[in-house]
Amino acid sequence: MYDPIVQELVEPSSERRFLGERTQCRYCGVTGAGVFGSRTNAHALPAALGNRTLFALDECKACNARFSIYEDALCKAVGPFLTLGGVRGRNGVRQTGQSRSRSTVRHAIVNGKRQLSVAAQGDANALVDIDKATGQLKLTMPVEGDVFVPRYAYKALMKIGLSMLPGAELPRFCKAIASLADHDAEPHKGPLLVGFSHAYVGNSPPALAGTLLRRRDATAPLPYMIFVLMAGSVCFQIWLRSDDLDEHVPEVGRLGVRFTAQLPKPEGGYLPIAFSDPLQFDWSALTSALQPFEAFELTFDPRTTAASFRPIAR
């Protein structure tokens, strides 16, 4: 149904790479060498999600500053995952919850090892459950986290996808590009759907990958372009709406790409990461909302020391 036309992978060992050319901003059309700043001014994938090496040369300083509000909203939407996963942003690992919140999640490095601390107010009997037969412990951790503007978080994903589009495809996405200039503007009519999946919750692999999938059959009732962003242990997908090639596609549907990553291991070989069936979110709203997950459930087996996290959506 789809062919991958672009894929960009960023890992800690990656060398610096640059997308585009410093001739014209792909978003506002401004020209002139002085409008772009340094070559590392604009990150093609968010720095807050761990990108240190992939940069966009065709994003001017003004657009880069204008778009920062979108990246901030996206990181707030998945803040608990970034904390639990130890994802290092511009200022270290993001901490979840204010000091006076009903719940907080904190990440630290102690003696070279990751350490998580969780504090939650409430009835301990409601938060902790022990299976008397197996001794298995189940801990439910309520999470408040940050509030975010859903439409801004959606635009962050859209902008990343647009930054990776081949130049020949850009004329088909003029409406989406124009909507980035006005923070509150609708990218298109109808819901702004986001498919969200996770592989596991915990020590995230320090890798980012963006993939553009293009429809093979022009007449198929499927989105022309799907953008998938893998960030550690979480994965997003959106319908990157074209101006003229999606008119026959029904509005009702779901984003159901099952994504699997193969990440190189230092000792050789690959680590497969299979992401869950995507949850479906509508991020159309301009009113602030709490991040989409109300709690994380930790299951721990004291006999094997095996543990797993499961996010619980609101």
Q: CA 169 to CA 90: how far, in whole Å?
A: 31
Q: Please compute the mean of the pLDDT values over residues 165-191 and round it to a whole number.
A: 96
Tokens of 195: 């498919």
pTM listed for this prediction: 0.89
Each domain of the chain, given as residue ranges in start order, spans 2-79+147-294
Find where tokens 């996405």 sit.
Answer: 173
pLDDT per residue as tens digits for the range 250-293: 987 889 888 887 776 667 777 788 888 999 999 999 999 999 98
Q: Average model confidence (pLDDT) for the chain?
A: 87
Sign of the torsion angle spanned by Cα atoms 180, 182, 184, 188? negative
Which 3 state secondary structure label does DSSP give 37? coil
pLDDT per residue as tens digits for the range 73-128: 999 998 888 877 667 666 766 677 666 666 777 767 777 776 667 777 777 677 77
